[in-house]
Chains A and B, each alone.
Chain A
Amino acid sequence: MISEEQVRHVASLARLGLTEDEIKEMGGQLDAILDSIEKIRELDLADTPPTANPLNLSNVLRPDEPRPELPREEALAPAPDPADDLFAVPRID
């Protein structure tokens, strides 16, 4: 069982503001996910290498060649409040 404290911790790491009700709800959902993982752990997987990607490929690389870049106006267009050609963010505390 995942504790409410753990839910709160994970939420704060993900910068999510959850209400008390949501904390309970998420706790239940996370439990269900962890239960599924537990089920997999019942299997003997000693000879199965961990798989992070289903593609059986490696070394997909690109040459060190410049590619087209975004014009600055376009790069800054989605920013709510750019200043001096820079992205502006609130004070960091």
Chain B
Amino acid sequence: MAEENALQTQERRTYQAVIGLEFHVHLATRTKMFCGCRVTYGEPPNTHTCPVCLGHPGALPVANERAIELGVMAGLALNCDVSRRAVFARKNYFYPDLPKGYQISQFDEPICLGGHLDVPLGDETVRVGITRLHLEEDAAKNVHVGTSGRMHGSVGSLVDFNRGGTPLMEIVTEPDIPSPEAARATANHLKDILRAIGVSEADMEKGQLRCDANVSIRNPDGSFGTKTELKNMNSFRFVEKGIARELERQQEILESGGRIEQTTLHYDPETDEVHELRSKEFAHDYRYFPEPDLLPLELSGSYVREIGDRMPELPDAMRARFVEHYGLSPYDAAVLIADRGLAAFYEEVAAEADPKQSSNWISGDFRALLNESGTDVGGSRVTPGHMVELIGLVGDGRVSRSAARTVLDEVFKTGDRPAEVVEREGLGSVEADELDGVVDGVISSNPDEAERVRNGDKKVVGFLMGQVMKATRGNADGGRARELLLQKLSS
């Protein structure tokens, strides 16, 4: 009995998550994978189709050159080996969103194999292996009629083929992700990389990035336990929560002496529960064979090198450079590089203004203005030149920091130069002699408070400062005003 308990305790301690992720990513092309229909989001249903993506008999696919290029770029960014030769294959199964009865995918000769992704997680880095990366086409969208969003309980299905044939990249990781938190970080990091190099917008809400997980718990002897597949978690938060919930479920089963069944599950964030998907229709016998309507891809070393040379800087490298070159903290650097446009804007400003001040203004006030108004850097009226000028005005003491915020608001609205705005709105710093008078005025109209400061009660200084700021409409240099106040009340 004691021995049995000891064993249980030991097993309890050795529970270890084994997580592998599978991503499906929409490539940022203008047109579909095998036909010239536009890739669109939110358009009226069935307005972007042709005989190829509707699967009409006799229609022939031709692969999109840009999609191949983006696949190679993603492979290079994930440290993969780009294959010399890649072959499209038919994956055969029946579903209403797949009009041909097969999906064109890649099977035994994918475009990229074997890579890795270094995922920042707190202060550490987790290396996640990439098993493979291949190109395929997305299915159409089933609009299930029924109360729940899922198939179960539907009375019928309606199909929109706008999405059908969208270039899709599948990325499969090794099962070496140690925790739900690390899984979320992996998805996030992948999104950052794909966006940075322009391979995909990777917006989970738009379905441009989708994530499935293979989840199991390692046996006490170190071997893999039975895995379950968790389908289509549609936000980064749900990737973490879904996997955490599934691990909990598996652990409960194991602790009560049960066995994990290999199955496919769906995570319901509303109830925080996983449900088994009815998987009759997924035969998992896809009878892959080479797609006879498409010719093999031969990717020469020079073609791959040329793409590599044109690749934008990866987020890790850019972050390191911002820390090194501009002296920013890793956190400040990360905020800037999360938005490529903002990072480029920053670099233009930091070339001519103090890099630290530039970072504060751009990732603080400017980014807040962009977020509030829903514009991106490119669509904003504020130019790098404006920002350099504004930072200069503050640095020279010609505009107080708080007034400079108002100036930026106004530049953001009008596109006028900061100096003009200062002039027009009378936002220049209050001159020294003027400030002297204001301080005297505040002291004489608040005799009780002034007296308390004279008697050493420093808490009241704040109140008097407030009065000075009010009288100057925030245009006084705070440091100087405080100095003046204390000087005048020092005895």
Which A positions have Cβ atoms within 8 angstroms of B?
Answer: 9, 13, 15, 52-53, 55, 57-70, 72, 75-76, 83-93
Contacts and interface: CB of A to CB of B under 8 A. Distances in A.
A65 B160 contact: no
A60 B295 contact: yes
The 6 nearest A-B residue pairs measured at CB = A67-B36, A52-B290, A64-B66, A86-B158, A61-B65, A89-B96
Interface residues of B, number: 56
A53 B290 contact: yes
B281 interface: yes
A59 B95 CA distance: 30
Contacts of B158: 83-84, 86-89
A87 B97 CA distance: 10
B171 to A, nearest CB: 21
A64 B65 contact: yes
B442 interface: no
B31 A75 contact: no
B44 A85 contact: yes
Contacts of B159: 86-89
Contacts of B278: 93
Contacts of B283: 13
Contacts, number: 127
A59 B47 contact: no
A26 B48 CA distance: 41
B216 interface: no
A61 B66 CA distance: 9
Contact of B160 (A55, A86, A90): A86
A6 B270 CA distance: 43
B64 A69 contact: no
B160 A64 contact: no
Interface in B287-325: 287, 289-292, 294-298
A53 B292 contact: yes
26 contacts: A9-B285, A13-B285, A13-B287, A52-B289, A53-B290, A53-B292, A53-B295, A55-B295, A58-B85, A58-B295, A60-B63, A61-B64, A61-B65, A62-B62, A64-B65, A65-B36, A69-B48, A69-B50, A70-B50, A70-B54, A85-B46, A86-B158, A87-B46, A92-B144, A93-B278, A93-B281
Contact of B45 (A15, A52, A55, A86): A86
B156 A91 contact: yes
B409 to A, nearest CB: 40
B161 interface: yes
Nearest to B62: A62
Given A13-B92, A61-B62, A86-B160, 8 more contacts: A15-B94, A58-B295, A59-B298, A62-B63, A64-B31, A69-B36, A69-B48, A86-B45
B465 interface: no
B155 interface: yes
Contacts of A63: 65-66
Contact of A62 (B49, B65, B95, B291): B65
B51 interface: yes
A70 B31 contact: no
A59 B37 contact: no
Contacts of B290: 52-53
Nearest to A89: B96
A62 B99 CA distance: 22
Nearest to A55: B295
B151 interface: yes
Contacts of A75: 46, 49, 54, 161
Contacts of A76: 46
B102 to A, nearest CB: 11
B390 interface: no
A67 B35 contact: yes
B157 interface: yes
B146 to A, nearest CB: 8
